[in-house]
Structure 1
Amino acid sequence: MKRLSVSLSAIALIAAIPLLGGTPVLASLQKAGESIVQTLTRPQVKLNLGAEKQVVAQDQSGKEQVSWKSLEGNAVVQPGNILRYTVSSENAGDVPAKNLTVTQPIPQQMAYVLGSATNSNGAKMTYSIDNGKNFVENPTIQVKLANGKVETRPAPAEAYTHVRWRFGKSIDPTTGVKAAYEVKVK
């Protein structure tokens, strides 16, 4: 009986040796190592969204002064209020982040303030009026005139559904970018 168990052990060892020394195990280890290296050298862009409410006050001379109040927690806003959303990012990784794209939806209860989108890094700004399916620099709509002709016009602020920023420049480690846009509460 002992003789049989030794023989089976020897056969198991002989069968295992090709798997240990062969390509499948080494390839798996090599792929795992490459995956770990890629993870360690990947950009890690952290995004933060902030919101502020526009506050308009008059100074002593009667001139309007505009300031922004940060909205925190359960903030209350009223129709007509202007809000500014700011997306800030930081590359917490060890390598530059290339081709960063940030897309922000316009909440349904709000209308985009035309021309209000800004950014700190020369990003290309595009907009959607079809719930994020297509993005263009200057959205347009087709309007049927009283005489039956169809005319192309700039899309109204209420038609905008998304704002997108495509950052062409790489974002170096420990640096970031900011993008902002304003909306009006309906």
Structure 2
Amino acid sequence: AAGLCGHNNIHIDGHFIALGKKGSSVDLGGIAKGCAADEVIRILKTGGIREALVNLGGNVAALGGPWTIGIQDPFRKTGHYLGTIELFDETAVTSGSNERYFEKGGRRYHHIIDTRTGYPANTGLASVTAIGDCSADMDALSTAAFVLGAEEGSGLLKKYGAEGVFVLDDRSVYVTQGLRKRFRLARRSGTKERL
């Protein structure tokens, strides 16, 4: 299956798209919720709404603000927050290994696949939250940053003008420079903040 992955397999000619290898498919799951959140915000703006918060489960888009949102603690059940951040006309998207996975033979297999190996990404990260202007972009960037790991991933976010919160498997937290004044670590999270 790994041989069917990669952007080089997609050929675009005007309005026509073809896949180069038999058995290939395109899965937009990595950006679908982000696109939906962007569209909801667009519709709200068109309708004259100036303040709204859209939550599509891991994808949060803020219109106006500031809105204080929680960042899920990837080591606890849904609803337990690692920390909070304020959004103002921004979006926050989290990708992590804690929501969609299965266990086999004592090993956990999560849904974020590293296309270079064909296996779940194993970069020492539990989750990445990307913050920026476009939810679809943050959807893609949070997943890509997760696959790349904290160091390369933070460089990728910086390249595209995004900020991020990286939660490592050892429970430490790395917050990019532009978020350090806006991120508040929850006292009960059991994590250690590395700035």
- TM-score normalised to structure 2 length: 0.23
Between structure 1 and structure 2, the one with the greater Rg is: 1
Whose helix fraction is larger, Structure 1's or Structure 2's? 2
